[in-house]
Every structure is written in structure tokens, then in C-alpha cells.
Structure 1
Amino acid sequence: MITRRDVLTASAGIAISAAYRAPRALAQPLARTVHILTGFSPGLQDALARLVAGQMSDYAETIVVENRPGAAGRIAVEAVKNADADGSVILFAPLGFMTLFPHVYKTLRYQPRDFTPVSTVASAPAFLTVGPKVPSEVTTLADFVVWCRANPKLATYGTTGAGTTLHFLGTMLGRSAGFDFLHVPYQGNGAIQDVVKGVIAAAAMPIGTSLGLIQSGDLRALATTGPRRSTFVQAVPTVQEAGYPSLEDLTWFAFFVPAKTPASIVDKLNAAIQAALRTDEVRAGMAKLAVEPDAIAMGDFARLIASESDRWKAIVEATGFVPTD
């Protein structure tokens, strides 16, 4: 079974090196407007989509990025599923839409098989951070575990919501380390603000949300969920280095099209994406967004989705999480 580490090892540098040669883009772009749908309000996801789309003129003369927020992003996914399979409507979404959502929602109006995965474009880890509620001498994940065991009523962590990857990773940390880690779900970035204010002890949040506060010293980052240290905060160890390799996780951002889209169109889109990722504009823009270029070849991408889906199914079941509507 392909694993996240297998893919990361095999695909290191794929987007910008000769190790993977995407099909050559056709000389003429598609003679129509193409819509890229994202499932959230303006933020990191649509900024990343716009950044890459701005360098994809080989694919279409006009590319419009549309925000379709609602139902935790599922509205956009369903819209692309039901769109014409001609390459004119594309989904840009985190991988969890395909690997986690089928296991946390009772009624999901789509399945991963309804889409053709085209390419990942970037990845980003999360950080486990603490604030003033936790004594300043707690500077490592090991220190934090000891503190949580000694202060069970204070061992709280916030995320962007119940049923998210970071919710489950926090639950896994508590179980692995032998303490009750109380999850406090928030909407948006509220968890980070409450950690800074000392309302809750910790937050597990994406790097883009927490990086500025880590750099300013308002938050202490104990570990990153990435397979290697973040290029943006080199001093923060990985969860593997901290002794918890099962907590390793990345958020991948990727393009998908409806399942019956002709292979020639999928190849053309893939080629345009790979070309965009090689541009200085996209590389510089990703650095500003605190994400790293991370493209996985189409075959490996499909296998990664299957492997990650199996992984999250086992995690969700192990935590006893009850799927919601």
C-alpha cells in the first residue's frame, strides 16, 4: 500500500524537476471561460487557486476562481461533480474532501470515484501551539504531555471544527500519551485567538493561521505535523522527532475534474498546472502563503487518495466519532 512518506520520497521535487514530465500542453488554450470552484470564503485556499490559475493561460483564455462556501465545502464539490465533464469546471480543494469526509458525514452526495484527481499543487503542515495558559517552561511536546497529565482540567485544545483532521490528531495524541485531551471546536480562526488570550491551553492549526503568531512569540509551537521541519520555522521539531509519528499529517491542495472528463483534457490541465508550478511567480506567491510546492504525479496521486482514505477511516472508527449530517 502506498503511504504518505512513500509519495513524499518518490515525488520530492517532482513539480520542478525532470523526474516527472507532464504531457506537453497544446499550443492553443481552450476557447472558453473555465471556472475553478473552491468551497470556502476568501482565504488561503482561493488565494492559492488564483495564484496557480494566473499562470495557466495554456489551458484556457479566461479562468475564473469562484468561492462556493457552505456545508464545510461540500457545496462546491457537489457542483463540480454535477458539471459537464469537459474540463470547463474544476474543483480546487484540500485532499481531506476525498479522504476524510466520506467517513465523517452520514449523507455525502459525492464519492471520490466521482472525480478524476489531476494534481496536487502544494502542501502545508499544521502546528500544535500553546499560549499563556501553559507555563512558559513548557517548551516541548514532552513537557506539554507531562503538564496535561498533571493538569487534566486544563488540557484543552482548539481546532477549526469537529470531524476535522486536526480534531482527530489531537484525540490521537491524548490517547497515545495517556491523558484526556478535551477538544474545543471553533469556526474560522477563533481557536488561535483563544489560545493567545489564555482561554484554552493549545490549538492545532494550519501553518498559515499560526505562523505569524509563532514568529512574534505570542504562541509557542511545540511540534509540526509535517514529515520534515517546516522551511518557515526550522526550529520547531516534527511530531516524529517528538516521538509521535502517527500524528504526521499534511494538508495537500489539489485539482480535480468530474470523473468522465476525457483523458486528453485531463492531460492538458495537468500540463498547465505543472508549468504554472515551475514559474517564479507561483513559487514566490506560495512562500508568502506559507505553503510549499508539492506536486504528485497522477498515478501516485490516485493511490495516495485510496491509502489516506483507509488511514482516516481507521482513525475515525478508533476514536468512536459518530458521523454527522
Structure 2
Amino acid sequence: MTILDRLTRRQLLAHGGALALGAPAGLLGAAGSAQAQTLLDNVRVLCGFPAGGTTDAVSRRVADKLRGSYGRTTLVENKPGAGGRFGVEELRRATPDGSTLLLTPAAMITLYPHIYRSLTYKPQDVTPVCTGAQVQFAFAVGPRVPESVRTLKDYLAWAKANPGDASYATPGAGSPPHFVAALLEKESGINLNHVPYRGSAPGVQDLLGGQIGAMSSPVGDYLVHRKSGRVRILATSGAQRSRYTPDVPTYAEAGFPALTMNEWYGFFMPAKVPADVVQRAATAIKAAISAPETIEAFAQFGMEAMANTPAELAKAVHDEHIAWAAVVKRVGFTPED
């Protein structure tokens, strides 16, 4: 098992964490009746990223579905900044009564403690509730790279022959897509120049404009542009090919099994929330993301809906926190202030 094989696959899939859509109607009805008796008045769903982004869109879809099943009113509060850290910090300060949830990519909880010296929180400062979705990462090239480059092997050969153009963008230094590409450098032995951006959007813009040749980012960032032929996706990071790019090989198929990795988005509460409240929230979230319209909305961003139990998510957080330490060391990333 490779370093990155430990991330996500075992914890979220082997434990039966894949979304279950076939619950008996009677059970769903009973759960709905019980939930109606314990609705919270005002529920906040925190999002550590700006309005209009992927995490914000997912937050709003689920918040809408939680209205009437978990809370009488549900509102999304955006706390953008510091790469998603402000959202976790706001959650940490919230009252542990179940009225405040956070939707966040896993990295804020499992990776950031290893790359920021001054981080104000730890994984144990939050309570795992339920996953919401998962994404694969992808390596893509744009018009700056010759049309003849059609595979990851082609790109690496071209990059080796053209070191001055061998630059790749990521959504940020220390982000999971950065570590995937950094491992590609390590595994291939070819030096690539990392250019971190402040989020995916500006990186994709420069990829399309030819200011930079390649990019490592979530697969959903490229789907529209791939249809138009403006980008070529060379590899994806899942254990299997992405359902959105079934004709694109995985990194493992391209000869780099150590780059097998997905990232999940999870819902969390503050520490010390009562277990029964956590379970009620997990049940409501699972029902929300199982709705066909939610699944369809996630697909627009290249995301797959999925859910697991609070205990399974807690184990995933624990195991990934340990595994990321090895990845950071392997890459040689220097923690930032």
C-alpha cells in the first residue's frame, strides 16, 4: 500500500461509507418524525471560502435540505480567508449545542496541522459528523504545451526537454493538489516549477491563456474547458478512473501508484457536542445529499456525493492526519507561519 493509498480510500469506502440511497420508506418516515420533534431554531452552516465557489455551492445545497429536517431556519455563513482556516476557527469558538456546522475539505483538518506552525486549532477541536462529497485531482495542460503532448509520459518528456516551460499551477502552496504534483516530481525525478495561485480560478484562467503550461487541481475545474478542447487532462488521482473523465488514465495507470488520492468534504461541529445531536445531524445530512437534485448539483463540480457515520469519519480524520505527516516529509515541504 502506498503512502497516499492510506488517504480516503480505506477509511471512507472500505467501511461502507459510500452513499446508501435505498433506505426503506418506513425507516425514513420514522426518522423524519423523530427529527421534527427536535428541530433547532437557527442553524448556521459555516463555509471557509467565498460565496460562489465550490465549497460555498455545496454548503448552500445541503443547508437548504436541512431546513425542516434539522433546523427550522438554516443559513450559510461565509468566513473566507487563510485557505479555509477561518471557517474552522469560527467553528471552534461556537457553542457546542448542534446549531453550528462547518463544511470543509479534509485538508483543513488533516493536513494543515502539519504545514502551519501557528495554526490555532487541532483535529480534536472539532467533532466529525458526516462526509458530504469526494473529488479526484487531475493534471491538465493548456495551449502553452504542444498539441502532441497527449499523455503524462509525453508531458514529462517535454518538461525534461523544455525546463524553462515546465511550470505547473496549483490552488495554493501546501494544498493537496500541490502535494500530488510534488510527489509526481519526486517519483519521476523531473524538476517542475511550482507556481501557487490564490485558488483554482486564477490558475485555470492562466492555464487557458497560455501564461502557464500545466495545472494540478480538482478534476471539476477543467470539465467545461475540456469539452471545448481548451485543456487536455492527462491523469486523475483516484483508485479508479473518474466517472467524469472515463477515457483519462489514473496516475497509477500512468506508472505512478503513489499518487492515488481523493479528497473528501466533511461536516463538523465544535468539540463536546452531545452524541445524540451529532447523530441527528448525520442522519439529516445523509438524507440531504441523497436527494437526486443534490447529487446532480455536485456533479456539476466534478464531485460525487457520499456519506459515512460519525465514527467512520473520526477514524478517517485520525488516520489521514498521521498519513499526511509522512507525505509532507516525503515531499520536503517546509511548514509556514
Please give the TM-score of this superposition, normalised by the length of structure 2: 0.91
For residue 126 of structure 1, report the CA deviation from its aligned partner: 1.7
Which residue number corresponds to residue 40 of structure 1?
49
Deviation per CA, 1:175-214: give whole Å up to 9, x if none: 1011101100111322212222222220011123221111
AA aligned to 1:105 is Y
- Kept after mapping to 2: 8 A contact 1:15/1:277: no
Which residue number corresponds to residue 243 of structure 2?
231
Which residue number corresponds to residue 37 of structure 2?
28
- Kept after mapping to 2: 8 A contact 1:33/1:63: yes
Choose which of 2, 11, 18 in structure 1 pairs with 2:16. Answer: 11
Determine helix, strand or coil for the equivalent of 1:309. Answer: helix
- Kept after mapping to 2: 8 A contact 1:118/1:256: yes
Which residue number corresponds to residue 259 of structure 1?
271
Deviation per CA, 1:72-129: give whole Å up to 9, x if none: 2211111111111001111110011111100110111110101111010111112100
Tell me whether 1:244 sits opposite 2:256 in the alignment. Answer: yes
Determine helix, strand or coil for the equivalent of 1:286. Answer: helix
- Shift in CA distance, 160/3, structure 1 to aligned 2, threshold 3 Å: closer
Tell me whether 1:82 sits opposite 2:93 in the alignment. Answer: yes
Which residue number corresponds to residue 162 of structure 2?
151
Determine helix, strand or coil for the equivalent of 1:289. Answer: coil
Determine helix, strand or coil for the equivalent of 1:317. Answer: helix
- Kept after mapping to 2: 8 A contact 1:118/1:255: yes
Aligned 1:64-103 pairs, distance under 5 A: 64-103=75-114
| Distance in structure 2 (CA, Å) of the matches to 1:12 and 1:83 | 28
- Shift in CA distance, 190/306, structure 1 to aligned 2, threshold 3 Å: same
Tell me whether 1:301 sits opposite 2:313 in the alignment. Answer: yes
Moved more, 189-198 or 256-265: 189-198
Identity %: 40
Unaligned runs of 5+ in 2: none
- Shift in CA distance, 240/12, structure 1 to aligned 2, threshold 3 Å: farther
Which residue number corresponds to residue 54 of structure 1?
64
| Distance in structure 2 (CA, Å) of the matches to 1:71 and 1:287 | 27
Which residue number corresponds to residue 276 of structure 1?
288
- Kept after mapping to 1: 8 A contact 2:19/2:290: no
Count of matched residue pairs: 324
- Kept after mapping to 2: 8 A contact 1:29/1:61: no
Which residue number corresponds to residue 127 of structure 1?
138
- Kept after mapping to 1: 8 A contact 2:235/2:249: yes
| Distance in structure 1 (CA, Å) of the matches to 2:22 and 2:264 | 19
- Kept after mapping to 2: 8 A contact 1:114/1:259: yes
Tell me whether 1:138 sits opposite 2:149 in the alignment. Answer: yes
Q: Could you say what the CA RMSD is over the residues aligned between the two structures, in angstroms? A: 2.0
Please give the TM-score of this superposition, normalised by the length of structure 1: 0.94
Determine helix, strand or coil for the equivalent of 1:223. Answer: strand
Deviation per CA, 1:12-60: give whole Å up to 9, x if none: 64332459x9994523242411101110101110110111121122110
- Shift in CA distance, 169/61, structure 1 to aligned 2, threshold 3 Å: same
| Distance in structure 2 (CA, Å) of the matches to 1:287 and 1:72 | 23
| Distance in structure 2 (CA, Å) of the matches to 1:12 and 1:138 | 38
- Kept after mapping to 1: 8 A contact 2:17/2:312: no
AA aligned to 1:218 is R
- Shift in CA distance, 296/70, structure 1 to aligned 2, threshold 3 Å: same
| Distance in structure 2 (CA, Å) of the matches to 1:154 and 1:288 | 32
AA aligned to 1:307 is D
